[in-house]
Amino acid sequence: MIKSKPEPVDVHVGSRVRLRRTLLGMSQDKLGKALSLTFQQIQKYERGANRIGSSRLYKLSQILDVPVSFFFDDMSAEVSGKATGMSEGGPQSFEVGQLSRRETLELVRAYYRIKDPAVRKKLFEMVKALGKSSLSLDNADG
């Protein structure tokens, strides 16, 4: 019997399910119960080992409170088959794996705990500016 490798799109979609679930602080067990599935099935979806059907993906979008398109956002050109450089700022060096790091998740949770929208916006603008200045410093070194 030949073991097949998961399709890259299924791996990406699964990683987005995991990202959103963890951002919400939801366990695999709780998500599984909401879908009438076991946590093992959720694990298989998140790894891309099992493909998520369209009706289940729609149900996931409702449970996780995101549009269905969320699961396909930030897909690399290799996975999507699109040409690189089509994003707003050109080719991105930010890897999808960085989104699921604990540090990133904690930062996002802390950001959304800021109640004042004006303060949140100022912080967002500051972080964007710091990111741009860091990028220009990296380019100056090369």
Q: What is the pTM of this model?
A: 0.60
Handedness of CA 89, 94, 95, 97 (dihedral sign): negative
Q: Is the pLDDT of residue 89 over 50?
A: no
- Residue range 58-65: average pLDDT? 96
Confidence of residue 107 (pLDDT cuts 50, 70, 90): confident
Q: What whole-number distance in Å separates Cα of residue 20 and Cα of residue 5?
A: 24
Instruction: Report pLDDT digits (tens) over 69-79.
Output: 999 888 887 77
- CATH fold for domain 1-79: 434 Repressor (Amino-terminal Domain) (1.10.260)
For the record, the structure tokens of 6 come out as 């998961």
Which of 97, 29, 35, 80 lies closest to 61, judged by CA? 35
Q: What whole-number distance in Å separates Cα of residue 142 and Cα of residue 125?
A: 26
Confidence of residue 3 (pLDDT cuts 50, 70, 90): low
Which of 89, 93, 37 lies closest to 60, judged by CA? 37
**Secondary structure element (H or E) that encloses residue 25, with its range:** none
Phi, then psi, of 137 in degrees rounded to 5: -70, -40
